[in-house]
Chains A and B, each alone.
Chain A
Amino acid sequence: MKVTVVSRSGRELIKGGLELHDSATVADLQEAIHRRTKKYYPSRQRLTLPILPGSKERPVVLNYKKSLKDYSDGNSDNLTIVFKDLGPQVSYQILFFCEYLGPLVLYPVFYYFPVYKYFGYKEERVIHPVQTYALYYWCFHYFKRIMETFFVHRFSHATSPLSNVFRNCAYYWTFGCYIAYYVNHPLYTPVSDLLMKIGFGFGLLCQVSNLYCHLILKNLRSPDGSGGYQIPRGFLFNIVTCANYTTEIYQWLGFNIATQTVAGYVFLVVATGIMTNWALAKHRRLKKLFDGKDGRPKYPRRWVILPPFL
């Protein structure tokens, strides 16, 4: 079968096209493109079927596991594929690892090292118990997230654009330093002992629940990340669609109840906003996918992310 690869402007990407055997898969095509172009490794490629000019429809993205025949209307020997360069890619594991390593390393710097003398404060400071517990809590949280990245999460997409690394790291690292600065401050004012215990206790409970949620989500997908979208069930998922976000948000709330800094609450609000956007999108997608028609199950009535509000 002869495959013609064109850019979105219609220019031929590979002169003379590619000759592939009839049982070739989309992955084989991607390899062939990579061999000819050198620069565009498979995860950089977005391959779609051409759309009619003026058509408002979204183009069909080719699934790398499918056979090329599935896209060529059965008998045709010629196939035209539209190629888009997604730019440099990194794996999701690397992306998440970079995001979480920053807060995990930077937070203890504020606790252990005399950074505050550079902000014009006296060197000696009295460390409150809550500041020590906060350090352990914080480091446990990010250690858990790194471990989950490598041993629990199954990603539906293998890679993400390289530019996301810079954006996401800027977000996590800056907020990490901003919160660490206030919690470890020499003039820090602690909350009452009871409030501290409630905060950390509630937060830890939420962190454990969050891990359990992630294990449930992992089991919805097969080891290679496929399996598409499923209705998550069990534990808190019976009440709320994105229980993993719910527990993450309440976990930060626990940290903030115990440490009480404006910086921490600002982070909580921003993070809740971001996760709410994701949750609304996922809830909508699941409701559309499981509409209860033609034998498909109907998506059950559930909160989106923050019961009893949303």
Chain B
Amino acid sequence: MAGFFSLLRRLYLSVYNWAVFIGWAQVLFLAIRTLRESGHQHVYNAVEKPLQLAQTAAVLEILHSLVGLVRSPISATLPQIGSRLYVLWPILHSFPEVRTHFFVSSLVISWSITEIIRYSFFGTKEALGAAPSWLMWLRYSTFLLLYPTGISSEVGLIYLALPYIKKSEKYCVRMPNTWNFSFDNFYAAILVLGIYVPGSPHMYTYMLGQRKKALSKSKRD
């Protein structure tokens, strides 16, 4: 029975990882083609649907971590996926004014390369039991460059959206109401930017630790 469940788990995770992999590959392909053919202003429109689908599917990863299907702790997956979803929906989807900026291109390329490597790494690991060492090296090395570019693009896009967020009042809730609640999207965005200040170096050092652990282990084996 336990064998059956572990087989089912591996089958499910293989399918999940490779499906999301395809989504990200499509995003990268469309982004590069649009960049070459028509310029960075059109990248968002070209990648919108697959980008939204692939990135939102990552919510399942939080679930996997919660139910213990994968080993990565929720404290690591939640901030990573949460910040991505924040840029994707409350910023890019809600404020079309920032979609034509070059930051969208650097964002989409940083995200998609990272995810293509990550999902193929985990996909191979689940399907075959182990991943080739070069893929492992890529998985734990590309972030050295792609984390800074990705995070700068995220922060840049939130910053660029600030004047539009302030002007539009979108998603804002004002007093008075029976539940004595208010929400100001502008201050929420400022708060998110504030979290990036300690959050980014924290996640970067976390990944450096993971890199050291994973690569030294593979050398030993």
Contact = CB atoms under 8 A, between A and B. Distances in A.
Indicate, yes or no, whether A interacts with B: yes
Interface of A: 182-183, 185, 187-189, 259-263
A261 B175 contact: no
Interface residues of B, number: 8
Interface of B: 175-182
B66 to A, nearest CB: 14
A260 B179 contact: yes
Contacts, number: 27
Given A182-B180, A189-B177, 6 more contacts: A185-B175, A187-B175, A260-B178, A262-B179, A263-B180, A263-B181
A236 B178 CA distance: 35
A187 B181 contact: no
* 10 shortest interchain CB distances as A-B pairs: A262-B181, A187-B175, A187-B176, A261-B180, A182-B180, A189-B176, A262-B179, A189-B178, A188-B180, A185-B175
A263 B179 CA distance: 9
Give chain A's interface secondary structure class.
loop
B110 to A, nearest CB: 32
A230 B181 CA distance: 44
B201 to A, nearest CB: 18
Contacts of B178: 189, 260
13 contacts: A182-B181, A182-B182, A183-B180, A188-B175, A188-B176, A189-B176, A189-B177, A189-B178, A261-B179, A261-B180, A261-B181, A262-B180, A263-B180
Contacts of A259: 180
A254 to B, nearest CB: 16
Nearest to B176: A187
Contacts of A262: 179-181
Contacts of A260: 178-180
A182 B174 CA distance: 12
Among A183, A187, A261, the most chain B Cβ lie within 10 Å of the Cβ of A187
A167 to B, nearest CB: 13
Nearest to B177: A189
Contacts of B179: 260-262
